Amino acid sequence: MNASENGDGSERRELLRVLSERFGFKEFKPGQEDAIRRLLAGRSTAVVFPTGGGKSLCYQMPALLLPGLTLVVSPLIALMKDQIDALAARGIAARRLDSTLSLDDYRAVMDEVRSGRLRLLYVAPERFVNERFCEAIQRVRISLFAVDEAHCISEWGHNFRPDYLRLAQFAHSCRADRVLALTATATPQVLDDMCRFFDIEPQCAIRTGFYRPNLTMLATPVTDDGRVSENGTVPLGSGVDLPTEARSRDALFFEAMRSREPGPTIVYVTLQRTAETLAERLAAAGVPARPYHAGMEDAQREEVQNWFIGSDRAVVVATIAFGMGIDKRNVRYVYHYNPPKSLENYAQEIGRAGRDDRPSVCEMFFCVEDLNVLENFAYGDTPSLEAVEGLVRAIFANSADFDASEYELSSTHDIRFTVVRTLLTYLELAGHLQRGTPFYATYQFKPLRTSAEILTRFDAERGKFLADLFRQATRAKTWFHLDIDRASRTLGQPRDRLVRALDYLAEQGDLELRAAGVRHRFKVLDRPADLKAVACSLYEKALARERREIARLGQVAALVEHDGCQVSALGAHFGEPLPQPCGHCSWCLGGNRPARLPPRPRPEIDPAVLSQALSLRREHPTELGPARSLARLLCGVSSPYQIRVKLQKHSLFGTLSHVPFPVVLERVEKA
Ligand code: ADP
Ligand code: MG
């Protein structure tokens, strides 16, 4: 049932009035009105609109019209500054709580929340481990609990985050009047999960058409010629029979750049290094191209972004980090120089083309040699069973209340940081642990006045306290480091007083202060009898995640080889096949179809490399003991242990990066 058909005309006029007066838009975009009406009627709702489809309005407008607070949870709040500023410019009180906020700013925001003045509060999902915040927010009337990137709640999604399960629990416990779950990409299975976890009736899930008639969608199998492997050591596999129709990626890509009308272009690549080199090569060929990736300074990235937004022919060669926060309507081309990680990523990335509805081209170059590098991201996140068991034993060797740094756990147990966090969240969700408010273990400060100048302003007792405090800090160049717990014990003063004093001095302009070394408090709720079994089940979860990621890459390859309309096949993945072929994808346009990818190269493993690896393992029994660790080294996949002892600089690192990881792992296990 279409809400706009049965709703009365005056309600519709009223909504359009608010839309135009408060937001400056004449009409709703598809799905917006339906979602807003359902929410205003008190029903929890899910929306699946493509990126740029106008999801935010679905909570911004109810936020104005509902009595209580609208709480917006998004992992990308750093990118939402513009959105919040835009709301403020329209006189809509919105704020965000981010981790850089000082204590006073935090308090000021929470005062606005309590007074009822604030309409929207944006927070990151991590905020819900903060006890003080949770307690404060439980006392506030939440009219709408909006969860962005809600597909993260599903294990079937491409970006599962177990902390989203905690969010769903919180939505219940804070008794939010209604929930809005938003995402740009959800398969039917993922949408089911979103509805189930957030208590949304299936008929309140709104999907807008995913089909974009203005996009030409090309998928081109290519060979990888003349490229040196990413770590610069090994030329890639040869001796594979390639079908003659598979052509050189660079020849095709540069030809496309030359022959197509210039226009704003995003070129997606997998590695930062490729972003740099490809942008350089394009620039050398006279194309206005610049790289964009997570390894660049924030200011530099912002500059590239602004340059791109303001230009009608700029080319940005980017890793996936690019494009999330920007809304540029006239992107004419989106290339995938390397394949995307999943169809979900693909749909989002090509969704940045042609938002002005004018003809635009998306072309994916699919090269089987790229699969190792892409798969290694997934393999690198799986810890060894030994590492997981070490972590589990260490956690439960603690007393009932303990604190830990996820960074330390990561480097002590050789598990990537984000994976440590995931494993701990699983222990929490299984009822073994309870997480408490994080705190900072170290404070760093840079004096802006001499200590004499500072101290004269205080009475004798306070002056002595501050002088003692300063003496506890150790100096590193211009910054001083203070281990706050140790200082608190040594001085016999409560930790709180120390922190307050530093905050106060920072506020007075006496020093610049920053907190570092986040530690998390935990309570052991249920100490498992069989630690090995707990470790095995966590390890099994990690392996399952790995299998899902690898399968997702396989789906991208399957799309390229699909014998039928590819746009329809992509739509079908998201529950929306087209009624007839699109007429503007490789398959519909193409002469030789279906496209066939060449077989994956399976190069031989040089026995000499293996024996060198085994002798290196004897030198580093801890770092390289588990077969997975040694396989990682050979495949060029770094890990916390390797970084600690600089093994990623060793000549063996990445020697077998042209061999699929499971093949290397198996050989190492047998050796
Ligand atoms: P999403 O979150 O779905 O990617 P946004 O909410 O960021 O999309 O909106 C994308 C753009 O569309 C923004 O610039 C927004 O101001 C604009 N927009 C939203 N709703 C409308 C509308 N009804 N009419 C015109 N523009 C709109
Ligand atoms: Mg959005």
d(CA 595, CA 562): 7
**Residues 45, 38: contact at Cβ < 8 Å?**
yes
Closest CA to 501 of 488, 490, 516: 488
Q: 264 CA distance to ligand 2 centroid (A)?
A: 21
- pLDDT of residue 568 exceeding 60: yes
The confidence score (pLDDT) of residue 239 equals: 35
- The residue nearest atom 18 of ligand 1, judged by CA position, is 54
Q: 86 CA distance to ligand 2 centroid (A)?
A: 14
Helix ranges (H only) for 285-416 are: 298-309, 343-350, 371-380, 385-396, 406-413
d(CA 411, CA 416): 8
* Helical pair 531-561 and 343-350, crossing angle rounded to 10 deg: 50
* Secondary structure (3-state) at 511: strand
> What is the overall mean pLDDT for the chain?
90
- The residue nearest atom 26 of ligand 1, judged by CA position, is 25
Q: 393 CA distance to ligand 2 centroid (A)?
A: 41
Tens of pLDDT, residue by residue over 157-181, are 888 998 899 899 899 888 899 999 9
Find where tokens 């495949």 sit: 635
Q: 360 CA distance to ligand 2 centroid (A)?
A: 22
Q: 579 CA distance to ligand 2 centroid (A)?
A: 29
Contacts of 223 by beta carbon, 8 Å cutoff, 6+ apart:
242, 246, 247, 248, 249, 367, 369, 598
- pLDDT of residue 49 exceeding 90: yes
* Secondary structure (3-state) at 340: coil
Tell me which ligand sits closest to the C-alpha of residue 54. Answer: 1
Q: 172 CA distance to ligand 1 centroid (A)?
A: 29
Atom of ligand 1 nearest to the CA of 83: 7
Structure tokens at 307: 């340059």
Tell me which ligand sits closest to the C-alpha of residue 57. Answer: 1
Can you tell me the mean pLDDT for 214-229?
78
Tens of pLDDT, residue by residue over 316-341, are 999 977 776 677 899 999 999 999 99
The widest CA-to-CA distance across the chain, in whole angstroms, is: 88
Which is it for strands 142-147 and 69-73: parallel, antiparallel or unpaired?
parallel
The confidence score (pLDDT) of residue 2 equals: 47
- pLDDT of residue 106 exceeding 80: yes
CA 361 to chain centroid: 26
- The residue nearest atom 15 of ligand 1, judged by CA position, is 54
Structure pTM?
0.85
Pocket-testing residue among 4, 26, 29, 207, ligand 1, by greatest number of atoms within 8 A of Cβ: 29
Atom of ligand 1 nearest to the CA of 327: 14
Torsions phi, psi for 477 (to 5 deg): 45, -115
CB-facing half-sphere around the CA of 381: CA atoms within 13 A: 20
**Residues 609, 652: contact at Cβ < 8 Å?**
yes
d(CA 361, CA 363): 6
Atom of ligand 1 nearest to the CA of 184: 3
d(CA 138, CA 141): 8
Q: What protein residues have CB closer than 5 angstroms to ion ligand 2?
A: 55
Tell me which ligand sits closest to the C-alpha of residue 47. Answer: 1
The confidence score (pLDDT) of residue 670 equals: 93
Tell me which ligand sits closest to the C-alpha of residue 53. Answer: 1
Tell me which ligand sits closest to the C-alpha of residue 28. Answer: 1
- pLDDT of residue 634 exceeding 90: yes
- The residue nearest atom 23 of ligand 1, judged by CA position, is 28
Pocket-testing residue among 23, 28, 57, ligand 1, by greatest number of atoms within 8 A of Cβ: 57
Structure tokens at 87: 């709301």
Can you tell me the mean pLDDT for 510-525?
89
Can you tell me the mean pLDDT for 444-467?
91
Can you tell me the mean pLDDT for 383-411?
96
The confidence score (pLDDT) of residue 243 equals: 43
Q: How far is CA 27 from CA 24, 57, 562, 585, in A?
A: 9, 12, 38, 31
Closest CA to 56 of 216, 184, 157: 184
CB count, 10 Å around CB of 571? Answer: 18
The confidence score (pLDDT) of residue 210 equals: 80
- The residue nearest atom 2 of ligand 1, judged by CA position, is 55
Can you tell me the mean pLDDT for 293-318?
93
Q: 25 CA distance to ligand 1 centroid (A)?
A: 9
- pLDDT of residue 228 exceeding 60: no
Tens of pLDDT, residue by residue over 118-139, are 999 999 998 888 888 888 898 9
User: Ligand 1: which residues within 6 Å by Cβ?
Assistant: 25, 28-29, 32, 49, 51-57, 327
How is 649-660 classified by DSSP, letter by letter? GSTTTTTTTTS-
Pocket-testing residue among 12, 17, 25, 207, ligand 1, by greatest number of atoms within 8 A of Cβ: 25
Tell me which ligand sits closest to the C-alpha of residue 22. Answer: 1
Angle at 637 between CA 278 and CA 79, to 5 degrees: 60
- The residue nearest atom 12 of ligand 1, judged by CA position, is 54
Atom of ligand 1 nearest to the CA of 27: 23
- pLDDT of residue 270 exceeding 80: yes
Minimum mean pLDDT range among 91-105, 186-200, 594-608: 91-105
- The residue nearest atom 16 of ligand 1, judged by CA position, is 54
Q: Which residue has the higher pLDDT, 169 or 537?
A: 537
Can you tell me the mean pLDDT for 456-485?
91
- pLDDT of residue 233 exceeding 60: no
- The residue nearest atom 13 of ligand 1, judged by CA position, is 54
d(CA 637, CA 658): 12
d(CA 464, CA 486): 18
Local structure of residue 461 (DSSP, 8 states) = H
Q: How confident is the model at residue 246 (pLDDT cuts 50, 70, 90)?
A: low
- pLDDT of residue 53 exceeding 70: yes
Three-class DSSP labels, 157-226: CCCCCCHHHHHHHHHHHCCCCCEEEEECCCCHHHHHHHHHHCCCCHHHEEECCCCCCCEEEEEEEEECCC
* Secondary structure (3-state) at 93: coil
Q: How confident is the model at residue 413 (pLDDT cuts 50, 70, 90)?
A: very high
Tens of pLDDT, residue by residue over 86-105, are 999 999 999 999 877 777 88
Q: Over the range 373-395, which residues count as b (16 or more CB within 10 Å of their CB) and which as e?
A: bbbbebbbbbbbbbbbbbbbeeb
Q: 324 CA distance to ligand 1 centroid (A)?
A: 13
Helix ranges (H only) for 516-619 are: 531-561, 566-573, 586-589, 607-619
